[in-house]
Amino acid sequence: MKKLKIAQVAPMWFPVPPKKYGGTERIISFVTEGLVKKGHIVELFAPGDSITKAKLTSISSKGIIDQGVAWTDYWWNIFNHSKVFERADEFDIIHCHWHFMGAFFQRFTKTPVIHTLHNILKPNDFRWDILKEYQNDFNPVFISQSEKEDSPINFVKSNIVYNGIDITPFRFNPTPKDQLVWIARICPAKGTKEAIEIAKQLGMKLLMAGQLQPQHQEYFDKEIKPELNDNIQYLGELTEKELVELYGSAKAFLYPINWEEPFGLVMVEAMATGTPVVVFDRGSAREIVQDGKTGFIVKGIDGAVEAVKKIGQIKRKDCRALVEEKFTKEVMVDQYEKLYNKII
């Protein structure tokens, strides 16, 4: 394939890759480094504390969250996009990540632009009305069929590329402990409270880990903290090495989501260690978990409780095999490379 000049445009919240939390930033890192490895000329527009083998261009010395910038403040991200599009003619393709901020700039250049929608807006979000202006020339990449179906706009051009992980550090563990694990951001959408209820009904130990953001402190204080004890533990935000150990230690990974999860990288990470997933039937669950083979897709807490009781039916090696086949970073990078060439 032709060697391309590619701009990767990351959101400015966290470095690429993230030090801890940041699924989007981790995916951007895998794509960027994978493309460099294939011999492409890649420039990453991201916070200055990012680590990459590509050329790094940044408008900020570090991720803006660490500088106290609020999630609702988009000025730094607009500034970042403007810097990319000022130099659009230098690239064969521009790959924007996050929402669709790049749409506002793409008509000022003939350089092809694609936009991976890592976190799709809710169907009733007013910003969809703005995006209708671009539905004929916007090139979205959805990270699941479910996410695409949740879009209220039928884009003329769209593609699906599943996220992938680096499976190397996710060691397969055939002998888990008699415990359950939940890993995500602490919030109602990710089912923190529901995971606790499932574990309580089963009388099993539950270990939880993940970032607690300020806007969910009240939820944690009222719904989660009173439930914590020796059997129900919150470990805080862990490093990748710590997370790998935690995933692999579980008989089952609980993911009782309360929203239409566009992908759910944690499910892939859990299965990479051999741990089957018990997930509510929402969002992309049916595209990631093979019901009855790598976990169970259930409806509600009662369904999850019954699923954990029969988790021994799942062969942990099947969980690992699915990830190796469909959800590695290498598979993802190959798909993006083919997509770039198709669009160009």
Helix, strand or coil, per DSSP, at residue 209: strand
Which tens digit of pLDDT belongs to each residue from 10-56?
999 999 998 876 789 999 999 999 999 999 999 999 999 999 999 99
Percentage of the chain modeled with pLDDT above 70: 100
CATH of domain 179-325: 3.40.50.2000
Which tens digit of pLDDT belongs to each residue from 179-236?
999 999 999 999 999 999 999 999 999 999 999 988 999 999 999 999 999 999 999 9
**Distance in angstroms (rounded) separating the CA atoms of residues 105 and 85:** 7
pLDDT beyond 80 at 99 = no
Q: Calculate the alpha carbon distances from 193 to 30, 69, 190, 247 in Å.
A: 32, 29, 9, 19
Residue ranges of domains in the chain: 5-164+328-343, 179-325
Q: Among 24-28, 29-33, 84-88, 312-316, name the one with the lowest average pLDDT.
A: 24-28
Q: For residue 254, is it left (φ>0), alpha (ψ between -120 and 50) or beta?
A: beta
H-type helices in the chain, by residue range? Answer: 23-37, 75-86, 103-106, 127-131, 145-150, 192-202, 217-219, 240-248, 265-272, 285-288, 300-309, 316-326, 329-343
Say what the pTM is: 0.92
Judge whether 5-164+328-343 and 179-325 match in fold. Answer: yes
**Distance in angstroms (rounded) separating the CA atoms of residues 243 and 232:** 17
pLDDT at 21: 66
CB 81 within 8 Å of CB 41 = no
Of 338, 337, 340, 329, nearest to 17 (Cα)? 329
Amino acid at 309: K
Which tens digit of pLDDT belongs to each residue from 238-287?
988 899 999 999 999 999 999 999 999 999 999 999 999 999 999 999 99
CATH of domain 5-164+328-343: 3.40.50.2000
For the chain, the first-to-last Cα distance in angstroms comes to 12
